[in-house]
């Protein structure tokens, strides 16, 4: 496969990167594991790839009382090797471990996963449930955005980055705020052909004994943006953890009645709708056993 | 598009290649440097036939641009043997019939080497997990897993 020609730039500072991204047809290259596949098939034909993978401002992990900050160019493997990730945000560690295979986890990045938001990407629902805060740099400087801004009603066309970001903006880091939840988890059913999630659900749970005080759920794989499962959340709130599985399977269909669920030759939309409840129940069950 | 001069070391040999930005690392290694151990399979990042290590990290060389490997050290399966003396993992693959057509083998060998460096005594489940990014369409994996178990045992791991 020979991609259409493009220029390549490797800026050495954030300022240089922002300048390079101001070009109309420039795209950010980090791990490249979503972008290069689309570039090779010519599904997308950028004029310039701006390689930010080694910019220091996008690297590293920092933990303080407010939460966990993750540099956007951190690879999945680097985060899985950092025990602070599983300690502070267990559902994030679950999601990272479920991505692809060792080679993909060695190159793919958190920023790319969130911004590209491929169908069935594992990190967007986790970030949504965690109310992650994005640090974004553009020509106007640095600003913070809520993760829900990134995934508005639509994420954008296939192979294009999330529409909420702006074309010349660069995601530099993601903050996962500290939580007082009892536990969290992410569970997915893997798509047999793509290796992404057919359906994946992130759950964060607040328990008082056996009673569910609060529950936040995010799902991926249904359409090209993560969605909150608010019908299940409200059905389960105040109920016993023992009843969570049956309530999740009963109420999950209500969360996708108005969603145009993705259909493909391997997995039909109705199958995705059917398994949403059981994957949700599994995520709640796992979250109840994983301390946050 | 302007070509970029990329300096890298492949299997211990320093090399310099002039590449277009769109040149994939696997093409630079095979077509320009003549090291044909990494194979071109799916070119979509699924099959792992093009697996190499870049600065010690296991990667699929069709999923990187050659320009991204600037200054890097690449190891391919061609660098594993010491002259005519096969690497112990290669010997184990040979002894257990861990290959049939051989197309996936260069990637399997490097994935196995990486696994055994991190985990000298892996379970069969751990071996299969480490091979998730490498597809074999001949063997059904049984003999590949046998080979890696044997290589671990030969290197002093149990059993």
**What's the CA gap between A149 and A155, in Å, rounded?**
10
Q: So what's the pLDDT on residue A156?
A: 56
Residue ranges of domains in chain B, CATH in brackets: 4-79 (3.10.20.30), 88-154 (1.10.150.120)
First to last CA, chain A: 45
Using a CB–CB cut-off of 8 Å, the residues of B that contact A are 1-2, 4, 20-22, 24, 43-46, 48, 51, 57-60, 63-65, 67-68, 70, 111, 114, 130, 132-134
How far is Cα B141 from Cα A261, in angstroms, rounded to an integer?
35
The alpha-helical segments, DSSP class H, found in A31-131 are 35-40, 76-80, 83-88, 90-98, 102-107, 110-116, 123-129
Interchain CB distance below 8 Å, B2 and A7: yes
CA of B58, closest CA in chain A: separation in Å?
A: 5
Cβ pair B63:A107 closer than 8 A: yes
Predicted pLDDT of residue A149? 86
* DSSP annotation of A120: T
Distance CA A288, CA A133 (A): 25
In a mutational test of the B interface, the residue from A101, A106, A191 whose CB has the highest number of chain B CBs within 10 Å is A101
Taking CA A64 as the corner, what is the angle to CA A208 and CA A220, rounded to the nearest 5 degrees?
Answer: 60
Distances, alpha carbon B117 to alpha carbons A184, A269, B149, in Å = 32, 43, 13
Q: Which residues of chain A neighbour B133 with C-beta distances below 8 Å?
A: 100-104
How far, in Å, CA of A85 to CA of A67, rounded? 10
What distance in Å separates residue B37's CA from the closest CA in chain A? 17
CA atoms of B32 and A134, how far apart (whole Å): 41
Half-sphere exposure of A229 (CA within 13 A, CB side): 38
Rg (CA), chain B: 16
pLDDT digits (tens, 9 = 90+) for B28-66: 999 999 999 999 999 999 999 999 999 999 999 999 999
Average pLDDT for residues A191-218, to the nearest whole number?
96
CB contact under 8 A, B22 and A36: no
Q: What is the pLDDT of residues A267-277, one digit of tens each?
A: 999 999 999 99
CB–CB of B65 and A36 under 8 A?
A: yes
CA B72 – CA A67 distance, rounded (Å): 35
For residue A62, the cross-strand partners are A69
Give the Cα separation of A219 and A276 in Å (integer).
Answer: 8
Q: What pLDDT is stored for residue B156 in this prediction?
A: 84
User: How far, in Å, are A77, A126, B75, B158 from residue A108 at the CA level?
Assistant: 8, 17, 20, 34
Which residues of B are less than 8 Å from A80 in CB distance? none
> What is chain A's Cα-based Rg?
19
**Gap between the Cα atoms of A169 and B103, Å rounded:** 42
pLDDT tens-digit readout, A73-92: 999 999 999 999 999 999 99
Of A85, A75, A81, residue with least CA distance to A30: A75
How far is the C-alpha of A48 from the C-alpha of A40, rounded, in Å? Answer: 14
Contacts of B68 in chain A (CB under 8 A): 29, 32, 51, 53
Closest by Cα among B140, B137, B148, B153 to B110: B148
- A7-50 sits in which CATH class? alpha beta
Q: Is the pLDDT of residue A2 over 90?
A: no
- pLDDT reading at A153 higher than 90: no
CATH number of A57-177: 3.30.465.10
How far is it, in rounded angstroms, from Cα A179 to Cα A52?
30
Question: Across the interface, do A103 and B68 touch by the CB < 8 Å criterion?
Answer: no
Q: How far is CA A229 from the centre of its chain?
A: 15
pLDDT tens for B94-135 read: 999 999 999 999 999 999 999 999 999 999 999 999 999 999
Answer yes or no: are the C-beta atoms of A103 and B52 closer than 8 Å. Answer: no
Per the CB < 8 Å rule, is B21 touching A49?
A: yes
Instruction: Report whether A58 contacts A173 (CB < 8 A).
Output: yes
Backbone angle region of B34, left / alpha / beta, with phi > 0 → left and psi within -120 to 50 → alpha: left
Residue A37: both structure tokens together: 């596949």
| For testing contact with chain A, the best of B6, B22, B48, B118 (most A CBs within 10 A) | B22
Q: Which of B30, B68, B122 to mutate to test the interface with A (most CBs of A within 10 A)?
A: B68
A283 φ, ψ to 5°? -70, -40
pLDDT above 80 (res A36): yes
CB pairs under 8 A between A and B: 80
Site from B65, B75, B117 to mutate, A interface, most A CB atoms within 10 angstroms? B65
- Selecting from A10, A39, A103 the residue whose C-beta is nearest the C-beta of B60 gives A103
Structure tokens at A82: 């950092």
Instruction: Please indicate whether, in this complex, the C-beta atoms of A32 and B68 are within 8 angstroms of each other.
Output: yes
- Out of B2, B57, B132, closest to residue A101 by CB: B132
Quote the minimal CA–CA distance from A54 to chain B in Å. 10
Give the fold, CATH level 3, of A183-289. Answer: Enolase-like; domain 1 (3.30.390)
Q: What is the pLDDT of residue A154?
A: 57
Output the pLDDT for position B91.
98
A-chain residues near B22 (CB < 8 A): 2-6, 39
Domain ranges of chain A: 7-50, 57-177, 183-289
3-state secondary structure of A135: strand
Chain A residue with minimal CA distance to B112? A102
Q: Distance between CA B4 and CA A18 in Å, rounded? A: 22
Q: How many CB atoms lie within 10 A of CB A137?
A: 22
Contact criterion met (CB < 8 Å) for A36 and B67:
no
Torsion sign over Cα B133, B138, B140, B145:
negative
- Asked which of A144-148, B87-91, B141-145 is least confident by mean pLDDT, the reply is A144-148
Torsion of CA B99, B128, B58, A4, to 10 degrees: 80
Name the residue with higher pLDDT: B158 or A133.
Answer: A133
Q: Which chain A residues are Cβ-neighbours of B57 within 8 angstroms?
A: 77, 106
Query: For residue A9, what is the nearest residue in chain B, using CA coordinates?
Result: B21
Domains A57-177 and A183-289 share a fold: no
């Amino acid at each position: 496969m020979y991609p259409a020609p493009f220029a390549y730039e490797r800026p050495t500072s954030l300022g240089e990167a922002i300048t390079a991204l101001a070009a109309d047809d420039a795209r950010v290259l980090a791990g490249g594991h979503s972008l290069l596949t689309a570039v090779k098939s010519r599904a997308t034909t950028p004029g310039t790839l701006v390689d930010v993978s080694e910019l220091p401002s996008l690297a590293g992990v920092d933990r303080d009382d407010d939460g966990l900050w993750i540099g956007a160019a951190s690879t999945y493997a680097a985060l899985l090797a950092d025990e602070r990730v599983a300690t502070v945000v267990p559902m994030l560690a679950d999601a990272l471990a479920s991505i692809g295979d060792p080679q993909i986890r060695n190159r793919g990045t958190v920023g790319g996963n969130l911004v590209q938001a491929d169908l069935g990407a594992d990190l967007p629902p986790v970030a949504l449930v965690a109310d992650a805060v994005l640090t974004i740099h553009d020509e106007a400087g640095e600003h913070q955005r809520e993760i829900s801004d990134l995934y508005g009603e639509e994420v954008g066309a296939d192979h294009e980055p999330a529409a909420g970001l702006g074309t010349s903006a660069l995601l530099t880091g993601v903050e996962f705020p500290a939580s007082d939840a009892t536990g969290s988890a992410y569970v997915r059913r893997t798509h047999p052909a793509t290796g992404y999630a057919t359906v994946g659900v992130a759950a964060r749970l607040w328990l008082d004994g056996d009673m569910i005080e609060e529950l936040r759920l995010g799902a991926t794989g249904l359409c090209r943006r993560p969605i909150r499962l608010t019908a299940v959340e409200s059905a389960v709130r105040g109920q016993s953890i023992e009843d969570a599985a049956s309530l999740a399977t009963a109420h999950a269909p209500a969360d996708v009645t108005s969603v145009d669920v993705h259909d493909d030759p391997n997995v039909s939309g109705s199958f995705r709708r059917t398994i949403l409840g059981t994957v949700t129940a599994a995520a709640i069950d796992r979250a109840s056993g994983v301390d946050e | 598009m302007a070509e970029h001069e990329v300096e890298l070391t492949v299997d211990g040999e320093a090399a310099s290649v002039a590449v277009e930005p769109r040149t994939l690392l696997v093409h630079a290694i095979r077509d320009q440097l003549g090291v044909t151990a990494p194979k071109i399979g799916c070119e979509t990042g699924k099959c792992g036939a093009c697996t190499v290590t870049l600065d010690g990290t296991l990667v699929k060389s069709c999923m990187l641009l050659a320009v991204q490997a600037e200054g890097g050290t690449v190891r391919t399966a061609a660098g594993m043997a010491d002259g005519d003396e096969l690497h112990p993992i290669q010997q184990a693959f040979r002894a257990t019939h861990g290959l049939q057509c051989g197309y996936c083998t260069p990637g399997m060998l490097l994935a196995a080497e990486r696994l055994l460096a991190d985990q000298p005594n892996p379970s069969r489940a751990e071996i299969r997990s480490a091979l998730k990014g490498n597809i074999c369409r001949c063997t059904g994996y049984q003999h590949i897993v046998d080979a890696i178990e044997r290589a671990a045992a030969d290197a002093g791991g149990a059993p």
